[in-house]
Amino acid sequence: MSDLATELSAACAAAFEAEGFETRWGAVRRSDRPELADFQCNGCMGAAKSQGLNPRELAAKVAERISGQGPIERVDVAGPGFLNIRVSGEALSKQAEFIRADEKAGGGRLEQTEKVVIDFGGPNVAKPMHVGHLRSAVIGDTLVRLFSFLGDDVTGDAHLGDWGLQMGHLITELFAEQPDLVYFDPDFSGPYPDEPPVTIDDLGRLYPQASAKAKEDPQRNEASQLAVAEMQSGHPGYRALLKHFIDVSVEALKVDYSFLGVEFDLWKGESDVDGLIPGMVEDLKDKKLARMDDGAWIIDIARDGDKKEMPPFMLINSRGGTGYHSTDLATIVDRMDEIGPDRILYVVDQRQALHFEQVFRAADLAGLISEDRLEHIGFGTVNGTDGKPFKTREGGVLRLSDLNRMALEEAEKKIGEAGLSGDISDAERGNIAKLVARAALRFADLQNVRTTNYVFDLERFTSFEGKTGPYMLYAAVRIKSLLRRAKEAGNAPGPVSIERDTERALVLAMDGFAGALAHAHAKRQPHVLCEHVYSLAQAFSALYADAPIANADDEAVRASRLGLCEAVLKQLEAGLGILGIEAPERM
């Protein structure tokens, strides 16, 4: 069984076909006027116009053909030729039971699935993550969950930045402080120590020191660039330090990502593909794609029809070093060899659009993967109330770890103010606060159209009222509590029978799950799913306020509403799970 909109679309499409029109005119969607109808079909105007006919007359013929079919209770012709469709209570009852029993809670599955790699455009090694990394983390993780839920074979890769100038800064600054370390001894033959010579706090201190010095002293910056070139050329001591820097950084990164509920299948970085670059460059030379230009090897990717300047793709710079272009292209080589994806998505700041257009064109020219199979999933910035990228009170970039801590503190405060969790242990209360903070951060970000900027307001985001993550949790926990109390009273869920308008509205809200997932997947837009779960929570709240559930006098009515609650909870938790939000058992 599919969603009702799909079933009705099929019936209308068959009716249009029977009248000699294309089936596309039969598309059905939820009504803009729910007080008049459940669904509407607007195809009669366009179809009639295409053949010079009267749209109301065509609408009447289509209405006659579909009247009484399947879930349809009534069809009305309105205005210039709209078809207003009301479905029967029996059809809604069946749909509720289907959702209740379905392992995907009515979410469906893609007709054609793919093998997909999702690249999170991860943080740089040794640099603390900041508030901007929140977006790539939660958007990327949600897309992994969404694609997997619908049947795609998905691999999520953190794709660490571990090959650039920051490595040179760290190496040279560590040398300035501890020149006697074996990593700097040209006569040392190894093996190098297993224990790293630095902590994450050391890295957080060394990098800003070196970066500040390099900005003031060109020679200091040149020393870092030379260290990078030597590291990339295979300097054993520097490679050993690189491994230490990565290991120490990843352990710290996992803490911040874990708080957000974000995990990766792969923790690969740019350095993992270093060994592929020489062979890749030679291959591109053999194919006459790479050429020498002022001491550098480049690929010309500009096209005659370009409306903007398209700089060449830089394979190897004039100093013999490689940058993001080469490592990103080599990463595609690696992924095609090791995974063989049908599609690769890059969840990275919208401001990197030009870079990815260059990489995608180069990959296509090299015959690695078609350009249309590579997607830049760009996103806007997290802004403060002044409309500018979010900063600390001191004007610096807010660390993600500090943001997580602030969200947790605000969640604990809101739980106390709401009088929640009064009778549970401190450990469970702490876990609930973490789930509330995670829900607040993730939903606050994901509910926005991905490509737009949004204003960060932690106090509002952690509220249990309004369109927030904590409100979603509260809705789920309320249903869990209701079902738990009913069970304790000996009242079991039973067959669903839809009678009241609020029950109808609730099932119709649930029926939109498959469509919301399909739309979110097709557009790579998680906010569509956020809209669905919020509407579902609101529809349940309306029923809760309108009619008794566990306390209904009639046993059959009580069992039916409890069964409906089971279906709602199943779908609500499925939707929240895709958004990376977990509801506690109680609050």
What's the average model confidence in pLDDT over 275-287? 96
| Residues sharing a CB contact under 8 Å with residue 59, sequence separation 6 or more, in sequence order | 44, 77, 81, 82, 83
Average model confidence (pLDDT) across the chain: 94
State whether residue 398 is helix, strand or coil: coil
Nearest to 127 by CA among 196, 199, 203: 203
pLDDT given for residue 8 in this prediction: 96
Residue 204 has pLDDT above 70, yes or no: yes
350 vs 390, residue with greater confidence: 350
C-alpha to C-alpha distance for 335 and 497, rounded to whole angstroms: 51
Residue 1 has pLDDT above 60, yes or no: no
State whether residue 237 is helix, strand or coil: helix
Nearest to 407 by CA among 395, 419, 415: 415
CB 335, CB 344: distance < 8 Å: yes
**Predicted TM-score (pTM) of this structure:** 0.94
pLDDT given for residue 419 in this prediction: 73
Nearest to 76 by CA among 64, 91, 94: 64
Packing angle, helices 133-149 and 426-446, rounded to 10: 90
Distances (CA, A) of 143 to 222, 360, 420, 430, 515: 40, 20, 32, 28, 16
Radius of gyration of the chain (CA): 29
Name the pLDDT band for 53 (thresholds 50, 70, 90). Answer: very high
| Residues sharing a CB contact under 8 Å with residue 525, sequence separation 6 or more, in sequence order | 449, 450, 519
- DSSP for 306-331, please give it: -SS--PPEEEE-TTS---HHHHHHHH
Residue 395 has pLDDT above 70, yes or no: no
pLDDT given for residue 545 in this prediction: 97
What's the average model confidence in pLDDT over 314-331? 90
Letter string b/e over residues 59-93, b meaning 16 or more CB atoms within 10 A of that residue's CB: bbbbbebbeeeebbeebebeeebbbbbbbbbebbb
Domains of the chain are 4-87 (3.30.1360.70), 165-376 (3.40.50.620), 400-578 (1.10.730.10)
Name the pLDDT band for 175 (thresholds 50, 70, 90). Answer: very high
Give φ, ψ of 161 to 5 degrees.
-90, 100
Q: Exposed, middle or buried: residue 12 (CB in 10 Å: 0-12, 13-18, 19+)?
A: buried
pLDDT given for residue 422 in this prediction: 64
pLDDT digits (tens, 9 = 90+) for 289-315: 999 999 999 999 999 999 999 999 999
CB 373, CB 343: distance < 8 Å: yes
Distances (CA, A) of 181 to 173, 177, 184, 206, 463: 12, 10, 6, 16, 52
Tokens found for residue 98: 């289907």
What's the average model confidence in pLDDT over 209-233? 93
| Residues sharing a CB contact under 8 Å with residue 235, sequence separation 6 or more, in sequence order | none
pLDDT digits (tens, 9 = 90+) for 396-450: 778 899 999 999 999 999 888 877 666 788 899 999 999 999 999 999 999 999 9
pLDDT given for residue 420 in this prediction: 67
What's the average model confidence in pLDDT over 251-267? 95
pLDDT given for residue 394 in this prediction: 64
Lowest pLDDT segment from 80-89, 113-122, 414-423: 414-423
Beta bridge partners of 299: 290, 313
C-alpha to C-alpha distance for 497 and 137, rounded to whole angstroms: 42
What's the average model confidence in pLDDT over 49-54? 95
pLDDT digits (tens, 9 = 90+) for 489-524: 999 999 999 999 999 999 999 999 999 999 999 999
